Amino acid sequence: MKKIILNADDFGRHIKINEAVKKAVETGALRSATLMTTGAAFDDAVSVAKSAPMLGVGLHLTLVDDTPLSPKENIPTLTDKDGKFYPDYMSFLKAYFMGRISLDDIKTELAAQFAKIERSGLKITHIDSHQHLHHAPGVLEIAVELAKKANVYKMRISHTPLFSGESTNIKQLIGRFGLFSLSTYAKFTAKKHNFKSPDNFAGIVAGEAVSEDFLINEIQNLKEGATEVMMHPATDNAAITAIAGWKHDFITEYKAASSEKVLNLLREKNVEVINYNNI
């Protein structure tokens, strides 16, 4: 049977993201979100999740583009002088593969993120990560270890085709190739540790928004098994761009996730809308 997971990343980062998640669960096909424990709107996201029993909530492990939970003196290789993470995955990975980032610091911070979500009372369905960093060798093994301690045995594997999306920008092609390679390693490691993942991954990782047309095309060509579509919905583009520095059409993704046309097509095609609890 064909199944689909629409997952909203960055849940808890901003109240306008939480608002999109809430509305897309109520009116659309969104049934999964991954919670950013470092986010300023974390408490509001927990309230939204507890009021939406259909929503499965995972942990969005975060090592870049935000402020860590741990004091900077406890994780000195992960932060700048102001206690902020590296700005993005490229700067992180460059430092990481040059040996400038300590695995002990990574474990300290990720353990704090697991602990915070446990204190919230939410039972998480799976793990993924901000900018896909849980796929990196070393980081992946730490994430797996902590997830197993939390009795979580499901994770996203961002194994997307090299030429997905519309852009052919060389920088984005290089990014896709890197993610394709790392996700291949992650898929092998996840299987070795008895972690489950959706059969297919269909999120656009090169920067374009997941639109209603994209989802319709995906549903019409859906493969057998479970397919995850990674999304970044929000109800205010300017508000999210201001905190993330990412000029992106978050509203288009919100409209796609809450689209009645998409929901009707899923029913017509007899596609089961699920979250990670159902894989």
What is the structure's pLDDT at 184? 86
- Total residue count of the chain as it appears in this document: 279
What is the structure's pLDDT at 163? 52
Confidence of residue 55 (pLDDT cuts 50, 70, 90): very high
Report CA torsion sign: 203, 265, 212, 19: negative
- Other Cβ atoms closer than 10 A to 240: 24
DSSP state for residue 12 in the 8-state scheme: T
Residue 171 has pLDDT above 60, yes or no: no
**Cα–Cα separations (whole angstroms), residue 226 to 38, 159, 165, 198, 239:** 29, 13, 20, 5, 33
Confidence of residue 11 (pLDDT cuts 50, 70, 90): very high
Helix (H, G, I), strand (E, B) or coil at 67: coil
Confidence of residue 175 (pLDDT cuts 50, 70, 90): low
Helix (H, G, I), strand (E, B) or coil at 78: helix
The overall average pLDDT reported for the chain is 92
- CATH, residue 113: 3.20.20.370
Domains contained in the chain, number: 1
* Out of 24-28, 65-69, 172-176, least confident range: 172-176
**pLDDT tens digits, one per residue of 234-277:** 999 999 999 998 889 999 999 999 999 999 999 999 999 999 99
Q: Which runs of consecutive H residues, i.e. helices, occur in the chain?
A: 15-27, 42-50, 89-97, 103-119, 139-149, 170-192, 212-220, 237-244, 250-257, 260-268
Predicted structure pTM score:
0.93
What is the structure's pLDDT at 204? 64
**pLDDT tens digits, one per residue of 107-144:** 999 999 999 999 999 999 999 999 999 999 999 999 99
Confidence of residue 208 (pLDDT cuts 50, 70, 90): confident
Which residues constitute the domain of residue 259?
A: 2-278
